[in-house]
Structure 1
Amino acid sequence: MNFDELTRFLEKRVQQPMPGDLAHQRMKPKLPNGAPVKMKHATPPRKGGVLILLYEDQGIVRFPLIQRPNYVGIHSGQMALPGGRYEESDQDQFYTALRESQEEIGVDRGRVEIIGSLSEFFVAASNYMVLPVIGKIDHIPDFVPEPREVDDIVTPPITHLIDPNRLKEKEIVVRSDFKMICPYYDLEGRTVWGATAMMLSELVAILQEFPR
């Protein structure tokens, strides 16, 4: 994919109606018996923002994903887009995505040009309403992981998202004994599943419209 052509396409496409939940559902985990995974929360969801940062590396369009450290928590060890919780001092969720990405992977938020966003997405596991922000940067970033929040950073080509050979499914066990059947993207040898895969699935649906 040509970087300039792709980013121009995305700038126009995100202004139109989005695939939304129809795309999200393609990557939604389910129980082993085929039933949907349901979660209830007593409080309203908190807001957050994540960043899909596009850049060109020797003619290849890439984007960063992070691996969370292992900890006692819902998203322990998982692959994710850089981002995090909205703070009251943030102007909006776009700012949240940029601020958190700078903190987590060392990207200068002042160098990132916002393209737009995908549909806001409810992360049921952690009770967050997350805005996936699409941005671009005009150089290869020198990523620096924040060690308390990021174990590793991988930078797959954007074309791997639309490679059918990288769309797979397997059983994943969380919280020691809770089993789910999860569609996932096999990217740089990592399993990208759950909320991150569901958000990326909407990007995939849009990328499939891109003329090649």
Structure 2
Amino acid sequence: MNKISNFKDLQNHLKLCFEKSLPGMDAHLSIAPMHRKSEIQDAGLRKNAVKSSVLILFYEKENEANIVFIRRPHYNGVHSGQISFPGGRWEMTDKSLYHTALREAREEIGINTHKVKYSGKLTDLYIPPSNYIVSPYVAIYNGECRFVPDPAEVAEIIEVPFAFLLEAASLRNVDITVRGVESLSTPAFVYKNNIIWGATAMILNELIVSWKNVKNEK
């Protein structure tokens, strides 16, 4: 496994990632569901897209760097039951989209946002089904991370070692059922039967590609 020896190494490596040019849409499209690629590429034409953000939060657990994901509850909506990062739509009281991500993470998974250290921002991604434009922010949690999920917004907390996600075997093609009707084949990260696909996988893939690019340059 690509085990990260300590959190200082993680912090330094992330710093290098954000000092370089990000892979951006190329990383997104490489694992996007086939039927969504043209809509994602045309995102610049969507002037009425809803501004939102997500938090990609690293934290230490059992001497490993983990990332926290959440499973959305089942509801009558396009992202029902899906796995995502903590996050949501921008509100007028938010100072910035980064503060949106922090606020949503505090509300959804109950973290102490005063212990969150900003690392950098990935490339915005347009999500066609919800007409959201998502700004992804990467951060590190300082100290022991305890989650207190809001059951109205979070059905399950999913903790994934980052080293696992760096392994090629974590990414595979899967067949999924969407809204109980549509069936499609799509690339996804799979961890203990948890399927991370769609926008969340595309955002995650940009981080992983950037990480590997920096590692290959060393």
Q: Same fold (TM over 0.5)?
A: yes
Residue in 1 that maps onto 2:135: 131
Query: Which protein is richer in helix relative to its size?
Result: 2
CA RMSD of aligned residues (A): 2.0
Equivalent residue letter for 2:117? E
1:209 deviates by 2.7
**Correspondence 1:5 to 2:35:** no
Match of 1:195 among 170, 174, 199: 199
Q: CA deviation at 1:43?
A: 6.5
- d(CA) in 2 for partners of 1:141 and 1:105? 10
1:108, distance to aligned residue in structure 2 (A): 1.0
SS at match of 2:30: helix
Equivalent in the alignment of 1:93: 97
Q: What percentage of residue pairs aligned between the two structures are identical?
A: 34
Which of 14, 17, 21 is the matching residue for 2:25? 21
Residue by residue over 1:26-61, the C-alpha shift from the partner in whole angstroms, topping out at 9 and shown as x without a partner, is: 210125xxx957489986101111001111223200
The alignment status of 1:169 with 2:166, answered yes or no, reads no
Corresponding residue number in structure 1 for 2:67 = 63
SS, match of residue 143 in structure 1: coil
Tell me the TM-score normalised to structure 1 length: 0.91
Whole-Å separation in 2 of the counterparts to 1:174 and 1:189: 17
> CA contact under 8 A between 1:69 and 1:150: conserved in structure 2?
yes
Specify whether residues 197 and 157 from structure 1 end up closer, same or farther in structure 2 by C-alpha distance, changes over 3 A only.
same
SS at match of 1:195: helix
Report what 1:153 is aligned to. 157
1:120 Cα deviation (Å)? 1.0
After the TM superposition, which parts of structure 1 deviate over 4 Å for at least 4 consecutive aligned residues?
35-43
User: 2 CA distance for matches of 1:123 and 1:7?
Assistant: 29
Whether the 8 Å CA contact 1:183–1:193 is kept in 2: the answer is yes
The reply on whether 1:44 has 2:45 as its aligned counterpart is no
Tell me which amino acid in the other structure corresponds to 1:21. Answer: M
Say if 1:72 and 1:37 are closer, same or farther in 2 by CA, change over 3 A: farther
3-state SS of paired residue (1:129): strand
Tell me how far 1:154 sits from its aligned partner: 1.2
SS at match of 1:71: coil
Q: Distance in 2 between matches of 1:163 and 1:172?
A: 22
Partner Cα separation in structure 2 for residue 146 and residue 124 of structure 1: 26
The 8 Å contact of residues 60 and 157 in structure 1, kept in 2 or not, is answered as yes
Q: How many residues align?
A: 209
Q: CA deviation at 1:63?
A: 1.1
In 1, Cα distance between equivalents of 2:46 and 2:205? 28
Q: CA deviation at 1:115?
A: 0.6
The separation in 1 between residues aligned to 2:77 and 2:177, in whole angstroms, is 14
Q: Which amino acid aligns with 1:74?
A: V
Residue aligned with 1:156, SS: strand
- Correspondence 1:181-192 to 2 at 5 A: 181-192=185-196
**Distance in 1 between residues matched to 2:211 and 2:16, nearest whole Å:** 12
Closer/same/farther in 2, CA of residues 70 and 208 from structure 1, 3 Å limit: same
> How many Å separate the matches in 1 of 2:61 and 2:175?
34
Partner of 2:76: 72
Unaligned runs of 5+ in 1: none
Aligned partner of 2:75: which letter? Y
